[in-house]
Amino acid sequence: MRVATIAAYTRGVDMMQRIQSTLDRTQQQIASRRRILSPSDDPIGASQALNLRTTLGRLEQFDRNAGIATSRLAQEETALNAVNNVLQRVRELALQGNNATQNGESRRLLAIEMREQLKQLVQLANQQDGSGGQLFSGNSADTVAVTSTGSTFTYNGDQGQSFVQIGEGRRVADGDSGAAVFFAIRDGNGTFSTAAAGANTGTGLLAAGSLVNPSLWVQDQYTVRFIDESNYEVLDSSAAVVTTSAFQPGDNVTFNGIEFSLNGQPAAGDEFLVSPSRFQNVFETVDQIATALEQGTSDDASRVAFNNAVNAGLLNIDQSIANVLDIRTQVGSRLATIENQIDSNGADTLTFQEMLAGIEDLDYAEALSRLSLEVSTLEAAQKSFVRTQSLSLFNYF
């Protein structure tokens, strides 16, 4: 078969270009340390690598979310600790003021400090997070959480919680609303509360009550009315008599599965009110105790009224402290959850990075051997091309 000189020349050039192209690709692999330079190099591997990079990107975002949530929850924990300290101080002041050795002036000074503690409590409720949003306004981060008008305190946020995704199918709340922290607090003992009627003339002093038999408790408004100093009757909200009983100072008043102690000597006609626990905010609780401290006591009846008011306030403060403790426990649990998830994300990241390296990373030993072979092949092709292109029939004439 006759082969034209131009055809042989073209084939030789094409062959060297193909070898040089292969050599150039190997050099790029070595320089970039990657086996796959374009999807066409390994379509299946390139698809797997893309999926792995997407997964790694999600894990990186989860860790960023976890960092933000950790920062916000840590700030909430600090604020709740400060709230607890304020409430503990209020409790100390209330106990101090409830002591019979105190006089009107000393109680007035205690009330002044208590109102300063109340201001600090409002400031803590209106604390901002690191981004300038309200820490305790729920999802209404641009709204001041708590405002006050006189003795009325209003929550302006919502009851929502924002959740942050910290892992595949794992979300965690990064805060709590002010409604849950400061306003959703049951008064009394959490089941029922007791109060002395304002018109009482005796010295009946209420003590803490308890739920003895939950199955017998019927939520209703009850009135314990003293028929005389030694006998009382219990009326429900419809004025029907629930029970009657004799009384001695210090006896427990017992009915419908509850009981509470009543010290001192109530007078005939004195009334004590029993109500299902309702929500009361901690600000009004502190304000009511301060108001009781500011009011003077001139006789036995006013002193007992003062003691009853402070005792009721102390019960409500204890409920507030317990509520803050519950929320701090939840915050601590979330922080532990985030820490565990970060560790899990780290382990997953390492696994996926190893898988990605197995797909994309270059085998240097193989690549260098291949480079050496391709260089030798190119040199041989170039020498062969030069040698064959120098041949001519005229050399033999």
* 321-357 residue pLDDT tens: 999 999 999 999 999 999 999 999 999 899 887 887 6
The amino acid that residue 266 corresponds to is: P
Supply the pLDDT for residue 120: 97
Size of the chain in residues? 397
- Indicate the Cα dihedral angle 318, 320, 325, 327, nearest 10°: 160
Report helix, strand or coil for 231: strand
- Helix/strand/coil percent split, the chain, to 5: 55, 15, 25
pLDDT in tens, 260-286: 999 999 999 999 999 999 999 999 999
Closest among 291, 335, 332 to 312, alpha carbons compared: 291
- 3-state SS of 316-330 is HHHHHHHHHHHHHHH
Out of 3.20.20.70, 3.30.70.260, 1.20.1330.10, 3.20.20.140, the CATH code matching 54-187+316-348 is: 1.20.1330.10
Q: 380 and 12 in contact (C-beta within 8 Å)?
A: no
Give the torsion sign (CA, 344, 349, 350, 354). positive
Supply the pLDDT for residue 389: 61
Report helix, strand or coil for 33: coil
Residues of the chain with pLDDT under 50: 364, 393-394, 396
Closest among 29, 41, 138, 124 to 361, alpha carbons compared: 29
- CA of 139: how far to CAs of 66, 146, 175, in Å? 18, 14, 10
Supply the pLDDT for residue 393: 47
Q: 290 and 89 in contact (C-beta within 8 Å)?
A: no
| Residue found under tokens 């790029």 | 28
Give residue limits of the domains in the chain.
Answer: 54-187+316-348, 192-277
pLDDT in tens, 98-116: 988 889 899 999 999 999 9
